[in-house]
């Protein structure tokens, strides 16, 4: 086992938190809509393709957290942590940028 952090914390973050995020992302994909509440009472309602982008973005974030937290502790996966996390992070950032661009273009 590699890594210097506590194994219980890594397991909790890498498995439990990632599964909770993945379940939320799958729920968004299944329902086809989501409402993101803002700090000052505003709400952003996403439906259809935008909700799908948001759901996949949340799934990519869950994979990134899982890979960063759990994989370095497993010897046979530790060597693949960097490329896998980088790929998941690129997918996350790309989908987030596409979603923000679509929302911005709706307001113009």
Q: What are phi and psi of 37, to 5 degrees?
A: -85, 140
Residues with Cβ < 8 Å from 91, sequence gap 6 or more?
Answer: 56, 60
10-residue stretch averages of pLDDT, the chain, 108 residues long: 66 89 96 91 90 95 91 87 92 93 79
pLDDT at 2: 52
What's the whole-model pTM score? 0.84
Supply the pLDDT for residue 107. Answer: 67
pLDDT at 90: 95
Cβ-Cβ contacts under 8 Å for 104 (sequence gap 6 or more): none
């Amino acid at each position: 086992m590699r890594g210097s952090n506590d194994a219980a914390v890594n397991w909790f973050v890498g498995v439990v938190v990632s599964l909770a995020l993945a379940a939320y992302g799958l729920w968004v994909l299944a329902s086809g809509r989501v409402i993101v509440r803002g700090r000052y009472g505003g709400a952003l309602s996403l439906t259809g393709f935008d909700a799908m982008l948001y759901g996949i973005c949340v799934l990519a974030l869950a994979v990134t957290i899982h890979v960063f937290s759990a994989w370095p502790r497993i010897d046979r996966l530790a060597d693949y942590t960097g490329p896998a996390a980088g790929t998941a992070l690129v997918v996350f950032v790309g989908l987030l940028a596409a979603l923000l661009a679509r929302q911005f273009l709706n307001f113009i």
